[in-house]
Chains A and B, each alone.
Chain A
Amino acid sequence: MNILWRKTIRDLRAAKAQSIALVIIVALGVASLIAMAGAYRDLSTSYQHTYDQLHFADVSFTVQAAPATVVDDIVALPDVSAVTGRLVVDSGYILPDNEPIRSRLIGVSPQHMPDVNAVHLSAGRFLSPDDTRAAVVEAHFAKYYGLQVGDQVTPIINGHKTPLTIVGIASSPEYLVVSASKQDIMPSPRTFAVLFVSLPELQKMVGAEGQINNLNLLVAKGSDRASVIDKVKGILQPYGLSEILTSEEVPSQAALQIDLDGFRESANVMAFLMMFVAAMAMYAMLSRLIWSQRPQIGLMKALGYSDRTVMIHFLAFTLLIALAGSLLGIALGLPLAHATTSAYATELGIPLVQSKIYPDLILTGVIMSLIFAVLAGISPALASARMAPASAMRVDPSTALANGRISVIERWIRVPLGVRMPLRDVFRMPRRSLTTALGIILSFVLLLVGLGMMDSMNYMLSRNFQTIERWDGLVLFNAPQPESVLTQVKAIAGVKEVEATLQLPVRLHAGDKEENALLVALPSDSNLHVLQLPAGVTPASALQDDQLVLTTYLAKKLNLSPGDTLTVKSPLGDHDFTYSAATDEMSGGVVYAAYDTIQKMSGLPVPVLNSLYLTLDAMKVKDAKQALYHVPGVASVQIKQDVEKDWQGMMGLFYAFVAVIFIFAFVMAFALLFNAMTINVLERQREFATMRAIGTGGGHIARLVQLEIVLMWLVTLIPGLAIGWWANVRFVATFDSELFIFVPYIKPATFALTAFVILLTMVLSAIPAIRHINRLDLAEATKMIT
């Protein structure tokens, strides 16, 4: 081996602990890239593979009711390759302990597996024309309740408990995340059953012989989806077309996309942050190494080594660390990617998982680490090449002295001697202190981004469930009901307060922009759903006449300002409204109007409603829920407490994700601070050894070092917290979508915890260096020049 390489390796070995710390930092960066970006790709391909295999619909149309023969008209369109007509009925379901939950009955032809939105059977078989009262149960629900082929399920159909025998258990591309609707994206296998049943049987049970209300189609390869939608709209318009969902808008897919986007963002941001941290730490280490090897550099040049050779020799340090880090990162990242994919796929119940190794990702990780290594090493390496040999070799004690100077703070206040030295050490080598400070600030950023995600999520949930949604129960009907149903509901024991609302899927048009949304018509004085309006705007004024309140997300998407006009297209026809104000809510795609305005607009002779907000007696919730499911036309009864519980359940995976980010951040922060602190202390070995020699106790020296750490922490505290907050705002914003809006929020306690963890990490990371100082061979160390 070349003698210079041998020297490089031995020098790295001499600074073993620091080299290992650097390798770990680089490895974590590469591992996070490979694991997160790899899992992102695995999940993307798994979803796509599942969609391809099960012919996930390109577009799905919902109508009030249409004859099943309409399918033939649509399949005859030249750009349509397949169509499946279904009857979808939302209803209740009685669990064995008599607790009612929601169910969705999907009537499909029992003749064969549907051409569009097929299912993947994990047990049993698909429906057959000979079956009576049979069902194929969606896998998440079956798994949650341990259902097996041959067991019975009991949905409520037309107000009656209707037992069905399970013939198969299957995954559906529409319910990879079991979301009932766009406004209810919470995966809830506990409270939502999806059952595939025979179409003719269901039609018979609900009295809709020959009728369907849901059509799913595949657009022919190479055809324009938008033009197909226009053509199908023309055919379905007479049947009360109420909703058009493209594949991306299907709630399950939209929720998965949020997950995927989160993965992608996290992979990019975390990998970049970690590489940046690694570069900073490498820069600090190499600078110190070059400083301590001045005489050797002088000698090399005196012997005739060229500037270029000297530069490459020192640059090789960072490159070797990056290479070792990359290898370790690959070794860590590959199984981690596989584990992440498996964990997600299992948790979400993805039926067809594809997990593989991405060589381009590995190459990206290695190249990225090498680029950062060059960026980190180039400046110190150039400095080594530029050293004049004579002065580099001169053993002059004064070269060991950094210029001491009075710190800025001391010009204002008199500080005791014990503080003066640590204080001046902070300002002694501005570049070194700046590098350390930057490292500490990055540690703040890493921790706050991780913890802030959790706080933002918790804040969003608590704001939604405590401040905005003040109801205890939400009842949805299959079809509009007359207001007389209110009397029936109010009479149920346990129901305290009832507010009638009308919810319609609508399409909003403003200029050249269009958005799908849910229109919620609620009483202007509603106190069960509290709009979050700007200061000074009341719900009554914002909803009066033909005015609409939009969520902040929609207003931004449609580029609307208060006073602008927009057109609302709904099953009730097209109407113009004025946008009055924005409400700052968790749901992204909701628009609010006054209940009376929509009733007037409908032109119906009597007012109708299709949903209710209720307050309930806490002691009678279960009984009230059961009774509500027996009210004819009730599709679902949601109890807020249960919804909250479902959110908390889902949070488990989210918390695990945040925990991984936090652990990565903590390990990195520790490794970074360990190096910074070790370098800071070891550079002054002779000073500390002298102090020991003249009788300063080990404890006193430890206090001096720790005081310097506290000062450094104080200097970085405000910028660290501020930049950490800013990074959290940017990071959280990447998760915003039509489904829900993240509000960046960090609890004061989290700021305090982060600050404490950083301080603790700094204090702990200096302990090895302090121990080293206190065990120094004083006789030798007091003779050191540097």
Chain B
Amino acid sequence: MSTETIIQMQHVNKEYQMGDVTVRALRDLNLDIAAGELIVLLGPSGSGKTTTLNVIGGLDRPTAGHILVAGDDITGYNSKKLTQYRRQKMGFVFQFFNLIPTLTASENVEFALALVEKDGKRLQDKARDLLQMVGLNDRGDHFPSQLSGGEQQRVAIARALANQPPVILCDEPTGNLDVETGQRVLQVMRDLNHQRNTTVVLVTHNSVIARMADRVVRLHNGSIADISENVHPAPVSELSW
């Protein structure tokens, strides 16, 4: 892990209008994330962790404040620039995997790769390599409906890695998996964080998972309640919930 800051959140606020009520999802949030860091955002439901992830990922815009990613302020980006940003800088892993059901595992990865790579042969080779990396080299021709939940999530991780983004954002990646499968998915995260120096921001409400992080940010009611550092992050194999 380097000490270079890749994400800076400065006085970020996010408000939603729900009927007549204004919900303040984020309140003056300030957070720096270092490149190559594995950080866990922890908190109960409604604490603002997914909103934090969404504004970092460019899926949503803050109401006030600034978010700098690799020095660029993304809060001023228009829709087109945000699309480019997501394509090049961010990888997403969702709780419900969000695979395209009509594409095979390999094609799901190719779909993301095709946004930057046009050569068909290279596309297939890269997709195969990525699936191999997540331990699914023999499942490339299977459709999502023919894969287990854990396998689907690993395909989603391979897809997130397709364009070698410096940051991977994971929203409850194990939320829909059993413990063993969840461990396998987390191991993949840890490995790519270590081996590729990819920054991983992981949202969870499961405090056990926080033990594997370099840093844990506890959110409460849209604000940071506490930030703690794990000097010795726990190996994934030791996590159980």
Contacts and interface: CB of A to CB of B under 8 A. Distances in A.
Interface of A: 397-398, 400-405, 416-418, 420-421, 424-425, 428, 686-687, 689-698, 700, 777-779, 782-783, 785
B139 interface: no
Contacts of B152: 397
Nearest to A700: B115
B83 A401 contact: no
B132 interface: no
Interface in B104-147: 104, 107, 110-112, 114-115, 120, 123, 143-145
5 contacts: A694-B159, A694-B160, A698-B79, A779-B51, A785-B96
Given A694-B112, A698-B83, A778-B59, A421 B145 contact: no
A691 B111 CA distance: 9
Contacts of A778: 54, 59-60
B107 A401 contact: no
A779 B59 contact: yes
Interface residues of B, number: 45
A695 B149 CA distance: 24
Contacts of A690: 92, 94, 98, 100
Contacts of A420: 102-103, 107
A694 B102 contact: no
Contacts of B96: 397, 400, 686, 783, 785
Contact of B143 (A397, A403, A777): A403
A148 to B, nearest CB: 71
A35 B111 CA distance: 53
Contacts of A698: 79, 83
A405 B123 contact: no
Closest 5 A/B residue pairs (Cβ): A695-B87, A404-B143, A424-B102, A690-B98, A397-B96
Interface of B: 50-51, 54, 57, 59-60, 79-80, 83-88, 90-92, 94-104, 107, 110-112, 114-115, 120, 123, 143-145, 149, 152, 159-160, 163, 176
A405 B107 CA distance: 12
A400 B95 CA distance: 14
A695 B88 contact: yes
Given A397-B176, A417-B107, A420-B107, A404 B101 contact: yes
B175 to A, nearest CB: 10
B65 to A, nearest CB: 17
A784 to B, nearest CB: 8
Contacts of B160: 694
Nearest to B96: A397
Contacts of A694: 86-87, 91-92, 112, 115, 159-160
Contacts of A687: 98, 100-101
Given A404-B103, A416-B120, A692-B83, A398 B98 contact: no
A695 B86 contact: yes
Contacts of A418: 114
A700 B84 CA distance: 13
Contact of A695 (B83, B97, B98, B123): B83
A686 B143 CA distance: 17
A401 B92 contact: no
B159 A403 contact: no
Contact of A428 (B91, B102, B115, B159): B102
B92 A779 contact: no
A404 B159 contact: no
B92 A693 contact: yes
A417 B50 contact: no
Nearest to B79: A698
A402 B94 contact: no
Given A404-B104, A694-B159, A778-B60, A417 B145 contact: no
A417 B114 contact: yes
A420 B152 CA distance: 20
A211 B112 CA distance: 97
B130 to A, nearest CB: 14
A464 to B, nearest CB: 55
A689 B60 CA distance: 13
A688 to B, nearest CB: 9
Contacts of B92: 690, 693-694, 782
Contacts of B84: 695
Nearest to B141: A406
A691 B80 CA distance: 14
A695 B143 contact: no
A687 B103 CA distance: 11
B237 to A, nearest CB: 26
B88 A402 contact: no
